[in-house]
Chain A
Amino acid sequence: MNAVGQDMVRRDGPAKVTGTATYAYEAEVDNAAYCHLILSTIARGQVTDVDVSAALALPGVLTVLTPGNVEKLAPTDDAELAVLQDGEVAYRGQIVGAVVAETSEIARHAAELVHFTYHVDEHDSIFTTDRDDLYRPKAINPGLEPDTSIGNVGEAVRSAHLTVAETYSTPMVHHSPMEPHATTALWQDDSLVLWESTQSVHSVRTDIAGLFSLDAEAVRVICPYVGGGFGAKGSPHGNVVIAVMAARALPGRPIRLALTRQQMFAIVGYRTPTIQETTVAADRDGRFTALAMAAYGQTSRIKEFVEQTAAPTRMMYAAPNRATSHRIAALDVAVPTYMRAPGECPGMFGPEVAVDELADALGIDPIELRVRNEPEVDPETGKPFSSRNLIACLREGAERFGWADRVAGARDGDWLIGTGVAASVFPAFTLRTTANIRFDHNRYTVELGAADLGTGAWTVLTQIAADALGVPVEQVDVRIGDSAYPFASVAGGSSGTATWGSAILTAADTFRDKYGDDPADGDEAENTFIGTGFEGGPYATYAFGAQFAEVRVHADTGEIRVPRLLGVFAAGRIINPRTARSQFVGGMTMGLSMALHEHSVLDPRFGHVINHDLAEYHIASCSDATDVAAHWIEEDDPHVNRLGAKGIGEIGIVGTAAAIVNAAHHATGIRVRHLPLTLDKLLAGLP
């Protein structure tokens, strides 16, 4: 029996629930010292003086790192990593110092005693579309063209039967993984060991080795378990660099550095707020004649990251005239980064609400309207889809959800009830990864530097390896989370399982070619899988999905509840239904959270996020996510990769917010175009 497709329980489950899985901060080392970061309290200017005398006088303080007193790093164009190299402050909350002490309490106390003098420059942290310094970036994440245009959108709009042209927006949000960013760092005998909470041990190694001018072999990054990342741990941030500086300042002494929850809202990235000027024009039958989005986002003045908000508009539906653009404001704010489904997650909000608005105006069922606008091929590249089962997802979802029974104006006591639908999409690609297979004592050990963020990589890679080698899972030991293993790509872009799994298939082929089915102890083979890269191959490769939401709005108070959320996905071969379901449901729950709750309130007068803890920054609680169900359709895609697997980690969050906003409109007749959907936006329109 194949292991792939079985609902195998998590291999790391028992260690996690019994508390024996060691996370980065808990690495077993002797005599650790503790590091606490100090963040700037101005949004722009320079540190002109630092008085460390009071901090150093505190018993137990080992050293204080400040601008200018730390080692010079190798030149880098990543200003986020060039910490403490000069006194420049480019955003509030930037790292301006750190204390190392015998205990974390002493370090934290001493951090309060370090006195900074600043020269303060006027800052500008206001994100709007009427700024005169918006610019067109050279490329958008992950290397796409900023603007595209086919046909003539303006003309099409003028001759359209109906057009929805509205502005939608999504707020700044933070990843907020349960485990904060944490490091244990040890510098000893000219080599560095980092126990680091990361989505990519190898990219941490490359960046750190480069910054400190070390050979890659002198740096080892270990990360067996991660308590969530969502992109915030996709590439290293300044905190790791500080931990390494501290370790090198105190050779032989392991340094532990964990961020506080407040610091998590300052220096490890966030999803930019987006503004989406969206246009959908249609003829009388609901066929789209034009589709366009002008997308706006922010980045930090010192480092550019451009969310590809309009990317999904380029491929989702057919239309002869289409245009997308991205404009960016570079502000005195922290550096944004990728967050679960960058591009697709915010960028499917505006269009999927606009399609609903159009359906409403045309009097066409929103599912039917989407079906009418299915493209034959990827509309902008002309590539055929390797598989595209959006319609199947919509139809099966409608069936399971009871879409046909939908009635407007439904009410249950004080609650107004509505239902809504939206589509999901996420690209499928693979990256470069090497895997190694060794045989010993009748067991196969499979090694690669992959990461399990809690997604199930430990488990599904074991299943894939067992099938690739044609042996039961009990005979396979997969080892991941260590840069001592062969190079593996980042756990990101929903590319992990397909990439690492493909690398294991490739290595298994090599192993069997070399040693046949009866290897000897010590036989070992390694091979590298190249992957498609972000550009993909001859096919347009995407996972699709359909999300259905029931929303209840309290007629008196406007409180919004989502008693039911149902998603159906077409994401290629599902390796393990148990871990897959939890990815889909987790994504959908995060989408619900985005719809109703998540909002990092950046006060532009100060330049930082004011609701920077999990009491005030709301994510969905258990009672908000009462019935979240995920299903998938069987999809056999021979083109996407040998495994036939598309990514499943991110698509669950895409479309959820639009489905919920559409359902709220169905319940109340009120169209909210700016997230989060909170009761104050409904009150005025309620009976």
Chain B
Amino acid sequence: MRAFDYQVPADALAAMRAVAGNDSAVFLAGGTNLVDHLKLGLTHPDLVVDITGVTSDEVVERDGGLWIGAAVRNSDLAADPRVCERYPMLSEALLSGASGQLRNMATAGGNPLQRTRCGYFQDNTTPCNKRRPGSGCAAVGGHARYQGILGTSEHCVATHPSDMAVALSALDAVVHVLGPDGERTIPFTELHRLPGDEPSRDTVLHHGDLITAIELPDTPIARRSRYRKVRDRASYAFALVSVAAAVDVTDGVVRDVRIALGGVAHKPWRAYLAEEALRGQAAIEDNFREAAAAELVDARAVDGMDGGNAFKIPLVTRTVVSVLRGLTQENQ
């Protein structure tokens, strides 16, 4: 923990400029992830720019969808009646995350930008390519239980821990960003990166890019959707595997489907291959299983203590089947 300057800018533009113009500046939203990192010595900013007052803290209707200000607290978003009715998977995802106290602090902009919980990343004394590029990846051969099975690289096998982000990925949300070159939008599914040979970068954002809002498009299929989180204790634990899903079945046939996976990759994993395999198929368990298998063709377990994380591969299939079975049974 080092001393730093603390600034409360007047507006979003000033906040963006304050950070963009200083390599050692960071945004502070709810602080539930950033402050831990300051204490653990994972980051050493000279300047902390408080953005909780510069972006909207409201959820508003727009073009049939919802527009979520970056400063909306996770607890408020989860309780918003429009979210509960039209995007239940998002509300469920938020409520499955962290604890009541943390959700009261955490923000819509900060949640998707929280960093991995990989134990080696959070421990300054061990090698980690994400924290110290080139130092190696201690997770391989070590504590691999929470590591990924999809899209990993030899440089990093970490997972993205956010539950909210899994739902946003399934919902085709859009991220609104204010950067040094002005405003732009990024499809949520393209916000996070795979580790490749540059695991230190979690997202495609550049230094100084400020998330101002997250837009949920009108998505009728999401009215009947679920977020299912499988974890090591009943509450207050990160996902081993999670599934956000919505499905539209008519006459026993899957017309449309959305599936995203959590706990499996460096980014919330939109299961396009599984979706494709299911569309137009009979809504039966065998097809759900095959769809999951299609998504997992390139899945690779991480070797490690206590059997590594090989169990996640069957667990994904079982959870996907379980969720789709539940949704389609409700459908009938």
Contacts and interface: CB of A to CB of B under 8 A. Distances in A.
A51 interface: no
B117 A620 contact: no
A332 B236 CA distance: 33
Contacts of B305: 601, 603
B119 A624 contact: no
Nearest to B240: A679
Given A610-B126, A610-B142, A612-B123, 12 more contacts: A105-B1, A557-B315, A557-B318, A557-B319, A597-B233, A601-B143, A605-B138, A606-B138, A610-B123, A611-B119, A679-B232, A683-B311
Interface string B99-115: 00000000000000000
Across chains A and B, which 10 residue pairs bring their CB atoms closest together, nearest first? A680-B311, A556-B322, A623-B234, A610-B119, A623-B235, A41-B125, A610-B143, A621-B235, A557-B230, A108-B1
B328 to A, nearest CB: 14
A42 B42 CA distance: 19
Residue of A262, A556, A596 with most partner-chain B CB within 10 A: A556
Interface in A630-687: 678-680, 683-684, 686
Contact of B232 (A41, A112, A678): A678
Interface in B204-259: 230-238, 240
Interface string A52-66: 000000000000000
Contacts of A620: 233
Nearest to B325: A556
A262 B41 CA distance: 13
A181 to B, nearest CB: 18
B21 interface: no
B314 A683 contact: yes
Contacts of B315: 557-558, 679-680, 683
A616 interface: yes
Contacts of A616: 117, 119
A622 interface: yes
A618 interface: yes
B142 A605 contact: yes
Contacts of B10: none
A559 B40 CA distance: 32
Given A601-B305, A623-B235, A679 B123 contact: no
Contacts of A622: 235
Contacts of A680: 307, 311, 315
B233 A109 contact: no
B307 A596 contact: no
B321 interface: yes
A414 interface: yes
A680 B120 CA distance: 22
B322 A414 contact: yes
Contacts of B314: 683-684
B318 to A, nearest CB: 5
Interface in B284-305: 305
A624 B234 contact: yes
A41 B2 CA distance: 21
Contacts of A404: none
A556 B233 contact: no
Nearest to B102: A615
